[in-house]
Chains A and B, each alone.
Chain A
Amino acid sequence: MTTAYIIAAIALMLLILLAVILRAGSGGRVADPPSPDKVLKSSREELRPSHYRNLSVVLQALSEQDDLFLTSRVNPEIRKRARAARCAVALQFLEGLREDHRRLDRLARMLTALSHSVDRGREYRRWWVTARFELFCLLLSLKLRCGAAPIVQIRQATNLIGDLAVQLERAMHAWQDASLKSPAISA
């Protein structure tokens, strides 16, 4: 009895999963193939991390000085509301970093699809690393919601994403130059 219901429930979950996959694949993503040109264009226009640029504003909003200023000048009620607003800003910022990471991951997947051959171990490790990153982001957002604001670490993570974007852009330019020079590369 139970097995039949379990199978029916799994089938229903697969149906929902199918709808989610088709929704993710809509908007031209399934129909339009990635191409090296497209990837290059995306790397310049879309995949450049954008949220880390707002770091100084976010850090100012989350700084200890700002907190001390609030403590000395305003009443507890307003201070509470201000802290809630600061937490919302930090969470929004974390979401932005996550979005940057997702864009970079998307570029990595497109590069994999456009490669002649890949290192399987490396690709499997990337799946694992991406899953871990998503999990860590989730846990960190929970931590922020509980009141902690690890400003220094957010700065480190932000610098890392920005650095990665610059390096990738350089590599993309080098790749484009090499492709133009050597016809053998584009098989």
Chain B
Amino acid sequence: MQTPFPFYEVLAWAVGPLLALVILAIGYLRNSLCELRLFAAYLVFFLFREMSYFWLSHSHLAASRGVYDYYWITEFLLASLRLLTVGEIYWRSLGNYPAVWDLTWRVLLGLAAALLLWSAYSAAQHTAKIAKFFYNGLQCLEFMQAALLVASLAVIVYYHVQLLPLHKLMLIGLCLYSLVQVMTYAMASRHPGAMHYWFSLIRQTSYAAAIFLWVYAFARPVQTRAPAPTLISRAEYDDLSVQFDYRMKVLNNRLLTMLRS
């Protein structure tokens, strides 16, 4: 099929590996990737996948089923690495806030487990073809990533946890990309054929936008570790919390009485 914007398509594809290389170079020179090892692993694997897929798609194997399967399996692995990067950033951000970490990791893990089960169930519906299996698993994984990212950011804002600008921009980039992916996967599955080209182009553009955001985040003066806040003791927390709980509960009861009056 002849594509309407072949130059843009090539540009959108090429910009990802090039900018990933730029991030790795900046990260190496400034030592800013040492705290984000999973993200560095993701970038390296992404570069390897793009180069290998480029070579495969221009070889005599281009039309084979194996290359198609290879694309979707590696895409699934990349999504998994992005998901692990989210976990890494969340863990790094909450490292200085043990109480918030202790309070929220179970909730987020529960959400992740529920979404993972759903992903596994969705993928299990398509076990006949390996590419289809990973394609469906990937859709759910992207959705899971977007939901977890929104939930993590909600926790961070709710508890006024310090989030480094680098981490914030990385999370925004990951979240925007995942959400666009989810929407385009869902719509592309309903409109195959000619429309598939447009959805593919949107996906590539959204990835280019996300990676531009990461380059911007790494190109700025980077602070890779947040200063630890001064923490209070459990006794003080207990002292104040009891008062809060009691008063808030009474206040609720009063409001309930007002409603019933």
Q: What is the number of residues of chain A that contact chain B, defined by CB distance less than 8 Å? A: 73
- Map CB proximity to B onto A84-97 as digits: 1 under 8 Å, 0 otherwise: 00000000000000
Give the distance in Å from the alpha carbon of A136 to the alpha carbon of B250 in the complex: 13
B18 located at the interface, meaning its Cβ lies under 8 Å from any Cβ of chain A in the complex = no
Within 8 A of B (CB), among A1-30: 1, 4-5, 7-8, 10-12, 14-15, 17-18, 21-22, 24-25, 29-30
Contacts of A108 in B (CB 8 A): 240-241, 244
Q: Which residues does A use to contact B, with CB under 8 Å?
A: 1, 4-5, 7-8, 10-12, 14-15, 17-18, 21-22, 24-25, 29-36, 101, 104-106, 108-120, 122-123, 125-126, 129-130, 132-133, 136-137, 139-140, 143, 150, 153-154, 156-157, 160-161, 163-164, 167-168, 171-172, 175, 178-179, 185-187
Contacts of B179 in A (CB 8 A): 11-12, 14-15, 18
Contacts of A132 in B (CB 8 A): 252
Give the distance in Å from the alpha carbon of A114 to the alpha carbon of B238 in the complex: 12
Give the distance in Å from the alpha carbon of A8 to the alpha carbon of B256 in the complex: 39
Give the distance in Å from the alpha carbon of A4 to the alpha carbon of B168 in the complex: 30
Taking the closest CB of chain B, its distance from the CB of A85, in whole angstroms, is 21
Q: Can you list 11 residue pairs at the A/B interface with Cβ under 8 Å?
A: A11-B179, A14-B150, A17-B154, A18-B153, A29-B157, A112-B241, A117-B99, A126-B248, A136-B256, A185-B232, A185-B233
Contacts of A178 in B (CB 8 A): 236
Are the CB atoms of B241 and A8 closer together than 8 Å?
no
Q: What is the number of residues of chain B that contact chain A, defined by CB distance less than 8 Å? A: 64
Within 8 A of A (CB), among B219-240: 226-227, 229-234, 236-240
Considering the complex of A and B, which 9 residue pairs feature the smallest CB-CB distances, nearest first?
Answer: A33-B162, A136-B255, A153-B258, A25-B157, A115-B237, A11-B182, A8-B186, A164-B247, A4-B186
Are the CB atoms of B157 and A36 closer together than 8 Å?
no
Are the CB atoms of A8 and B182 closer together than 8 Å?
yes
Contacts of A32 in B (CB 8 A): 162
Closest B residue, CB atoms, query A29: B160
Taking the closest CB of chain A, its distance from the CB of B29, in whole angstroms, is 25
Q: Which of A17, A116, A164 contacts B98 (CB 8 A)?
A: A116
Are the CB atoms of A33 and B229 closer together than 8 Å?
yes
> Majority SS of interface residues in chain B?
helix
Task: From known contacts A11-B182, A11-B183, A136-B259, infer whether A117 and B230 are also in contact, taking CB-CB under 8 Å.
Answer: no
Task: From known contacts A12-B183, A109-B159, infer whether A129 and B236 are also in contact, taking CB-CB under 8 Å.
Answer: no
B31 located at the interface, meaning its Cβ lies under 8 Å from any Cβ of chain A in the complex = no
Closest A residue, CB atoms, query B182: A11
Are the CB atoms of B229 and A114 closer together than 8 Å?
yes
Closest B residue, CB atoms, query A154: B258
> Majority SS of interface residues in chain A?
helix
Give the distance in Å from the alpha carbon of A108 to the alpha carbon of B158 in the complex: 11
Are the CB atoms of A171 and B186 closer together than 8 Å?
no
Task: From known contacts A18-B175, A30-B163, A136-B259, infer whether A160 and B233 are also in contact, taking CB-CB under 8 Å.
Answer: no
Closest A residue, CB atoms, query B188: A4
- Map CB proximity to A onto B39-55 as digits: 1 under 8 Å, 0 otherwise: 00000000000000000
Closest B residue, CB atoms, query A131: B252
Are the CB atoms of B153 and A25 closer together than 8 Å?
yes
Are the CB atoms of B241 and A111 closer together than 8 Å?
yes
Are the CB atoms of A160 and B245 closer together than 8 Å?
no
Contacts of A167 in B (CB 8 A): 243, 247
B207 located at the interface, meaning its Cβ lies under 8 Å from any Cβ of chain A in the complex = no
Within 8 A of A (CB), among B165-193: 165, 168, 172, 175-176, 179, 182-183, 186-187, 189-190
Give the distance in Å from the alpha carbon of A108 to the alpha carbon of B236 in the complex: 12
